[in-house]
Structure 1
Amino acid sequence: MTEFPKLLMVLGGILLFIGLFMQVVGRLPGDIVVKKGNFTFFFPIVTCIVISLLLTFIFSFLGRFK
């Protein structure tokens, strides 16, 4: 039962880091924005790739300590 609180703290820290990252970076070059009239479609493709790479690195790093 002592592993669950540690896991929650690590996940909380990761989410905090992602939130701060999103606030600082915002929209990266390469993100898709389509504006037509009063409709705006935003798809953060580059941001998703960067977050995916970061999470892959973090989880592979954490996986080595099992």
Structure 2
Amino acid sequence: MSRTLITIGLIIVAAGILWPWLTRLGLGRLPGDIMIRRGNFTFYAPIATGLLVSIVLSVILWLINRW
């Protein structure tokens, strides 16, 4: 159990470090992401990005579980 938590933590840290390069790929600016700017107020809801990340993580965890 602790190995799994450490692995997940390392993956999250790696994603945080790689985030500037991931945004260049368009992650965070997909067609389903909602951004509303009005004056000094900005609302951002990354719906499509969240779905994509969820699907990718689900497939990865499913593959790990099968292995």
The TM-score normalised by the length of structure 2 is 0.70
2:36 aligned residue? 34
- Indicate the structure (1 or 2) with the bigger Cα radius of gyration: 1
Uncovered stretches (5+) of structure 2, i.e. residues with no partner: none
- The aligned runs of 1:40-51 (5 Å cut-off) are 40-51=42-53
The SS at the match of 2:15 is helix
Q: Distance in 2 between matches of 1:53 and 1:20?
A: 21
Q: Distance in 1 between matches of 2:55 and 2:19?
A: 14
Q: Distance in 2 between matches of 1:37 and 1:60?
A: 44
Uncovered stretches (5+) of structure 1, i.e. residues with no partner: none
Q: Distance in 1 between matches of 2:18 and 2:9?
A: 14
Deviation at 1:9, TM superposition (A): 2.4
The TM-score normalised by the length of structure 1 is 0.70
Q: Once superposed, what is the RMSD of the aligned Cα atoms?
A: 2.0
Alignment size in residue pairs: 62
Seq. identity, %: 29
